[in-house]
Amino acid sequence: MIARIVIVLLSGAWMPAVATPACGTAPVQVQALGPGGQRAAGAYLVWIDGKPRALINIGTGAALRFREAGANVADLDVILLTRLHVDRTADLPVLVESSLAENRDRPLPLYGPSDNKFMPSTVTFVRALFDSTRGAYRHLGNFLNPLAKDTYKLRPNDVGEERRRLGARRAPDPDIHSAFANERLRTSAVYVTHGSAPALAWRVDAGTKGIAFSEDSGSGGLERLIKNADLLIVNLSVPATLSPSAVARLAQTAGVKQLVLSPRLPGNETEALDSIKRHFAGPVAFAGDLECFTP
């Protein structure tokens, strides 16, 4: 009991004294916790009716931004990971440990890519962090231990794993995979190309709004995933598999209504925007820390 109290106190020590207000009053909002580059690593939060419901990635610095946004883990419905690199996952232990102070009373689903010979699956990755016997942070093992009663449970899932168990080909396919869904939102994903690492593009549908997130190019599955999305958030990191003009053409062809780009590109933003606006008719903006967007 004493150890638990110490963990809770320490996990809260880094929280800001005053959180900034949440996004505006629109039913669905997307907030950039860290657009990447020289800022906090890429992560986004989907707010639904004033509550943070879907977290996309949780890279370096994103857990602090999560608290600065006024968000609570207790409100999250799901965490979605695009890939398992450190700049997309590093703050997951920080976020989980800080949530001890919140008394969350339901499981927290977490979805990400399956494995290949270069990278673990999401289930293996989460277990490597939090397993109570072999995990790197085994003091947080109760988040995975089904017999423990003093914490909620993390529920990691590999996207497309069921199909692999049924004997489908091992290489990720271009099909759209349904993932988490509840009365507030639906999520789906498609595998995209990111060097040797398995990677996903995600879509979150809430009410009549569709928000898509992609960092990489893909087959026809990506175009189908983002079709008629109200908002598409694209990472233009270097090296990128999607150039600004390619992003614009993809968004225009798919009927996307609004584009948000990350990370900031000092000295190159005007050139990138000019390139995109030649091929895409909708609004375009670069994301800043804690900036909110209405789909």
pLDDT per position as a tens digit, 81-104: 999 999 899 999 999 999 998 989
Task: With cut-offs at 50, 70 and 90, classify the pLDDT of residue 172.
Answer: very low
Residue 30 has a pLDDT of: 97
Alpha carbon of 230 to those of 68, 173, 182, 251, 259: distances in Å?
26, 25, 20, 11, 9
Three-class secondary structure of residue 260 per DSSP: strand
Structural domains for the chain: 2-7+23-166+176-293 (3.60.15.10)
Residue 29 has a pLDDT of: 97
Angle CA(24)–CA(29)–CA(23) in degrees, nearest 5?
A: 30
Task: With cut-offs at 50, 70 and 90, classify the pLDDT of residue 179.
Answer: very high
pLDDT per position as a tens digit, 222-245: 999 999 999 999 987 655 567 888
pLDDT per position as a tens digit, 116-170: 999 999 999 999 999 999 999 999 999 999 999 989 999 999 998 655 444 444 4
Answer yes or no: pTM beyond 0.75.
Answer: yes
